[in-house]
Amino acid sequence: MTRAEKSKVLILLSAFLISGGLWVEPLEGRSTRADALIQVGIGALNDGFYDVAEKQFSLFLKDYSTHERVLDVVYLLGRTFFLQGKFKEAKAQFTRIVTSGKPFEQTDFAFFWNAVTATRLDDSDSARRYLVELIRRFPKFEWIDYAHYLLGLIELEKENLSSAESSLRAIAQLAKRKEVTHASAFWLGLLAYRRGDYATAAGYLRPLTEEAIPSLREREKEALFWLAETEVKRKRYKEAMLRYKSYAGRFKDDPLNVAALWRMSFCAYRLGDLKEAREILDAIHARFKNWKGSPYVHYLLSLLYLEQGDFSSS
């Protein structure tokens, strides 16, 4: 998984985890200094004053190291560090919880955040280990679909394709959050495409182009392009032509727009519409002179010139 792909994963996670998923309920009816430190820290965390929260939680752990709520505060401090981008410090807090051997109500969340933090530190081995343990020990975890998804992407990065497919398929059976189900279907489609199972790939990708989810607009765009690719592989050039045309029309400023246009010309050529194929290729040649695929444009143009008897141009 590339750094760019990790960023997309974290954007997907943030829609739920960083907004509503991180709210902490304040304490009620407690007035000791220790509880006051926690209360102020929770309020600061919820309001986004992370430096204040960090100071309150750190002071609590310094002054009340044997308090019954130490692990609660360790967890809160870990989350505070995470939201500040202090990933090494966050990981140290979450690791303290999962290795403490003590009962803690949110041990499952500690495993999860430890894994997410590890991905931010480019430590995919640790992330994988925490996710595997989380899924094994806490199959009813509230965000188990996210856990399977992140594990699937890590397995993809490591080229463990069968394990990746197994993790991603588990998400459909859970049927918890549609955005996670759709995102996993995209990768399952690409896995099927990679092994040459184009009909299965199309089955995964097609629904993603038919139901728009705002948080997955980038996936919808990519799914449309790859769905068109599966149609070409299946020699369904008319269907591919329509999908490439849709892509080129909807995403005019996208870097893959020129690739979609080139494939449109190829489909038109295979369908026998030499006039349209040539018009598209001429437009590509005029607009994208420095495109790295230019040799393919010239090659197909030469074939068209020959078939149309235009020997001077070829």
Q: How far apart are CA 311 and CA 204, in angstroms?
A: 45
| Token code pair at residue 147 | 């856990």
pLDDT tens digit sequence for 242-282: 999 999 999 988 888 888 998 999 899 899 898 898 888 88
The token pair at 210 is: 């038919």
Mean pLDDT within 208-221: 81
pTM: 0.81
Tokens of 114: 């430890």
Q: What is the mean pLDDT of the chain?
A: 85
Q: Which amino acid is at 30?
A: R
Q: Is the pLDDT of residue 195 over 70?
A: yes
Tokens for 180, please give them. Answer: 């996670």
Of 285, 295, 296, 290, residue with least CA distance to 263: 296
Query: Domains (ranges, CATH) in the chain?
Result: 31-141 (1.25.40.10), 143-234 (1.25.40), 251-313 (1.25.40)
Phi, psi of 158 (to 5 degrees): -90, 5
Residue 48: CA count within 13 A, CB half-sphere: 3
Q: What is the pLDDT of residues 5-48, one digit of tens each?
A: 554 454 445 434 433 344 455 545 445 888 899 999 999 999 99
Q: How many CA atoms lie within 13 A of 65 on its CB side?
A: 1
Calculate what percentage of the chain has a pLDDT beyond 90: 61
Closest CA to 122 of 30, 1, 223, 252: 1
CA distance 161 to 155: 7
Distances in Å between the alpha carbon of 159 and those of 165, 220, 285, 290? Answer: 11, 24, 37, 33
Give residue 95's pLDDT. 96
Report which of 154, 149, 142 is spatially closest to residue 167, judged by C-alpha positions: 149
What's the whole-number mean pLDDT along residues 277-303? Answer: 73
Backbone angles phi, psi at 300, to 5 degrees: -70, -35
